[in-house]
Amino acid sequence: MDFLQFTAGKDDERRADKVLRLLLPNQHLSAIYSAFRKGFIRVNDKRIKPDKAIHHGDTISIASFLLCSTSNQQDMCAPAVFPYDIILKNDDVLVINKPYNIEVQHELVQVVRQYYNSQKNGGRASLTFAPAPLHRLDKKTTGLLFFSWSIRGAQWFSRAIAEHKIEKQYVALVQGEMTQQHEWNDFIKKNAATDNAAFHTVRVFTSAHENALLAQTKAKPLCTSSSGITLVHFTIATGRTHQIRAQSAQHGYPLLGDTAYGARSTHEEQDIFLHAYKMILPENELGLPRVLRAPLPRPFKKINDKILKNWQEAFIL
pLDDT at position 23, please?
83
pLDDT above 80 (res 180): yes
Q: What's the pLDDT tens digit per position in 257-269? A: 999 999 999 989 9
Q: What's the pLDDT tens digit per position in 28-76? A: 899 899 989 989 899 998 999 999 999 988 999 888 778 765 444 444 4
CA Rg value for the chain: 24
Helix (H, G, I), strand (E, B) or coil at 129: coil
Q: Which residues on neighbouring strands pair with residue 209, listed in sequence order?
A: none
Residue 243 to residue 213: CA distance in whole angstroms: 10
Q: What's the pLDDT tens digit per position in 194-215? A: 766 567 899 999 999 999 999 9
Residue 283 to residue 67: CA distance in whole angstroms: 40
Q: What's the pLDDT tens digit per position in 248-259? A: 999 999 999 999
Residues 284-290: what's their mean pLDDT?
A: 96
Q: How far is CA 282 from CA 24, 164, 165, 285, 317, in A?
A: 38, 10, 6, 10, 18
pTM of the full predicted structure? 0.79
